[in-house]
Chains A and B, each alone.
Chain A
Amino acid sequence: MCGIAGVIHRDGTADVGAELTAMLQSMKHRGPDSTGYAVYGPADDLVVIRFVLAEPNKSTGFGMEERLERNRAEVESRLAKIGAEVATVTSDTGYAFRATIRYGGDLKALADYLEDVPGCEVLSLGSSLEIIKDLGDAQTVSGQYNLGSFQGTHGIGHVRMATESEVDLASAHPYWAYPFADVAVVHNGQLTNYHQWRRRLEQHGHRFQSECDSEIIAVYLAEYMARGLSLETAMKHSLDDLDGVFTYVCVTGHELGIAKDEMAAKPLVLFESDPLVAVATEEVAIRAVVKREVETRDPYEREVLVWQV
């Protein structure tokens, strides 16, 4: 039982960090183990990288401080070697980092090169996407990463109750659609043909950060979008290809889409107005951002909907 949420402002930027925090905190009962965000700020010519060098619960101890510093220096060194010009590197936690770079090369090569550094996992890459995830509830993670002041057009979030894998960052959502820039997914459900699709996608050169079935959706969509399909078409394909019960929300640099499996077994409620679309596992999360009585509905089975900024 996890909780997912998404907002998209179709008329400009808003406090998406604070909005998602309010939505996710209202669904804390659905998953207190970890909380994650994929938020989109204004795009510019810099590439934003969010990466971690250690799991939060393994980031302290004998020699860890020096090790993290050494690995951070190695990341910066590799960025320079691959031809990226580093603008900023900051960290709110000591193990999770945000870097902005000028880079026009292959993002897959960049991600693979950085992930060769011990403990390094690239959480997101893109011109506006930033994935932030950590252990604890939404207020904890938001406070830790100062998300309350994040301004953007859209974003998604996830609260996780660990049922089939570890309480760690690798199993926390959202998942970046490696190596596709600016695409991320949150998911509630179970995919029963996970291993089959993982093998297929690995044969196409994709790598997986986790053992979590949800990561398949992000990589699956990336694979099809890389072939030229639109987000909506790729999502419609996924309803035929992915088995199990699932509801997921996918975001790109300018879109937010939802998909529900053919059994409609997992909850999602939708509020749609001209300036704002909000989706969440439970109505209480919608009420956290739209503080008045509004018309909402449950999307039906096999429904795919996509909105643009």
Chain B
Amino acid sequence: MPGSGSRSGVSYDARGLVEPHAEMPDNIEVDGGRARFDAADLTIRQINMALRQLIYNDGIVDVTVLNPSSKHSLAVGILKRCRIHFEGSPGWFACGLIDGPEVTINGRVGWSVAENMMSGVVTIERSAGSLTGAAIRGGDLIVKGDVGARTGIDQKGGTIIVTGDVGINTGFMMQRGRQIICGNAGMNLGDSMYDGAIYVAGKVRSLGVDCVPGEWDDADTELIGRKFRIHGLGDPPQFQKFVCGKQLHNYDALEPSERKLVIH
């Protein structure tokens, strides 16, 4: 199997996911538990290979990646507590499937940042594309700017904070977790959501199917205050809460055919 086995201390899975001819970058500067390298002239696989080598094999806990140059799929699948800092803008699918890292991005990100994140913190200093935080299970995702459409689609846990505006279908089919939107929200907010809560400080263009205003309680105030404090976001604005109306999906134990009978 091309690419399987181990070379230079880097593991290759059975599908050869690490490019066989990718070479470890030779521009990595290591200083104790910290490392940094310039990614401008590296391939996606070289960057990810370097991150894995440093974090998994060399015991580095703090890595800075300079000039990610909008390359896709960076820092995906890192399952270890560590710090990763991007100085510049990664492209699509950054930090997907991570479990544990604290990632800071001093730039913008493309579509699907932190998709399926299990735990950790991803902080983006500028804007983000669509599908931000799609299907995240846990952790905190903070975007200090505007994001595109379908933020937190299929969200299953965790917290997404956006200091700017969000686009259409934000929170579509979200099942759990929290979204805190400081700006305006596009059409169909929370469409077909199952559970969780969406807090919006600005205007909501329209609510989606079965998304309704929710009742504010002390736990909401505590949650928002705590998240703003932890992430250094200043004083929170006034929010309105939106939740699932629980009319769309089958929330009892009845089979669909039985439910029809109940309705009639």
Residue picked from A265, A283, A301, most chain B C-beta under 10 Å: A283
A282 in contact with B127 (CB, 8 Å):
no
B residues at A contact (CB < 8 Å): 69-72, 88-89, 91-92, 107-108, 110-111, 126-127, 129-130, 146-150, 167-169, 186-187
Give how many A residues have a beta carbon under 8 Å from the other chain's beta carbons. Answer: 18
Identify which of residues 274-301 in chain A touch chain B, using a CB-to-CB cut-off of 8 Å: 282-284, 286-287, 293, 295-298, 300-301
B149 in contact with A264 (CB, 8 Å):
yes
16 additional contacts, CB 8 Å, given A264-B186, A284-B72, A295-B108?
A: A262-B168, A264-B148, A264-B168, A265-B149, A282-B70, A283-B92, A283-B110, A284-B71, A287-B89, A296-B108, A297-B127, A298-B149, A298-B167, A300-B148, A301-B168, A301-B186
A283 in contact with B108 (CB, 8 Å):
yes
A to B contact number (C-beta, < 8 Å): 67
Chain A residues near B91: list those with CB within 8 A: 282-284
B70 vs chain A, min Cβ distance (A): 4
Q: Given contacts A264-B149, A267-B130, A296-B127, are A301 and B167 in contact (CB under 8 A)?
A: yes
B151 vs chain A, min Cβ distance (A): 11
A residues at B contact (CB < 8 Å): 262-265, 267, 269, 282-284, 286-287, 293, 295-298, 300-301
15 contacts between A and B (CB under 8 A): A264-B130, A264-B150, A264-B167, A264-B186, A282-B70, A282-B110, A283-B70, A283-B89, A286-B70, A293-B88, A295-B127, A298-B127, A300-B149, A300-B168, A300-B186
B167 in contact with A300 (CB, 8 Å):
yes
Give Cα A263–Cα B186 distance, bound, in whole angstroms: 10
Give Cα A262–Cα B149 distance, bound, in whole angstroms: 10
The 3 A-B residue pairs with the shortest CB-CB distance, nearest first, are A298-B148, A264-B149, A283-B70
The chain A residue with its CB closest to the CB of B130 is A298
A53 vs chain B, min Cβ distance (A): 40
Chain A residues near B168: list those with CB within 8 A: 262-264, 300-301
Give Cα A301–Cα B126 distance, bound, in whole angstroms: 20
Residue picked from A262, A295, A301, most chain B C-beta under 10 Å: A301
A33 vs chain B, min Cβ distance (A): 20
Chain B residues near A283: list those with CB within 8 A: 70, 89, 91-92, 108, 110, 129
Chain A residues near B111: list those with CB within 8 A: 267
A237 vs chain B, min Cβ distance (A): 20
